[in-house]
Amino acid sequence: MGSVFLPHLNTAWHVDQAILSEDDRLVVLRFGREEETQCMIMDELLYGILEKIKNFAVVYLVNIDRVPDFNEMYELDTNPMEPFTIMFFHRNKHMMCDFGTGNNNKLNFVITDKQEVIDILETIYRGAKKGKGLVVSPKDYSRSAKDI
C-alpha cells in the first residue's frame, strides 16, 4: 500500500531531475516492481518513515519495467534474488554505504525496523554533508542480509 502514496518517477528524465534538483536533502530511489512482496514491504516501511525523514531525505519509486534506462547501469534487473534496490544520492553524487554485505552501491535486502532505516538514512546524509562518498552503516548486515 505504501507504493500508492509515494511519488513515482515515470521516465529517466524524471529520475535525473529528482537527483539534480535536490540541493540539500538526500534523494532515496527505490528501484523495483511494486508487485514484488519484498518491494511492497520496503515501500510500506519507507512510507511509514516519511514524516520523520522529510527534513533531510526525499523518497521516490522507480519501476524498472517502465523505466529500464538504469537497469544495466545500476545492475538492477540481473539478479532475480534482488526484487528491489534502494540507492542514495546527494547533490547529484551517488552515495555508497557499507552494510557489511560486500555491495556498497545499494541496499537490496529487506529491513523491517523503521528506526534502523532512519538511522541508515541519517548516517548517509551526515556523511554526504561532510563530503564523504562512502559511509559505514550503523549496523552490520553481513549475516542478516544473507538469511533473508
pLDDT tens per residue, range 74-95: 888 767 778 999 999 999 999 9
- Residue 102 placed within a domain: yes
- Residue 36 placed within a domain: yes
CATH number of the CATH domain containing 17? 3.40.30.10
- Residue 146 placed within a domain: no
Containing structural domain, residue 66: 8-136
- Residue 75 placed within a domain: yes
pLDDT of residue 144: 64
Alpha-carbon distance of 50 to 55, in angstroms, equals: 9
User: Other C-beta atoms within 10 Å of 73: how many?
Assistant: 7
pLDDT at 1 over 80: no
- Residue 145 placed within a domain: no
Domains of the chain: total: 1
Alpha-carbon distance of 10 to 68, in angstroms, equals: 10
- Residue 17 placed within a domain: yes
User: Other C-beta atoms within 10 Å of 53: how many?
Assistant: 19
Residue-by-residue DSSP string for 29-57? EEEE-TTSHHHHHHHHHHHHHHHHHTTTE
pTM passes above 0.85: yes
Over residues 33-48, mean pLDDT:
95
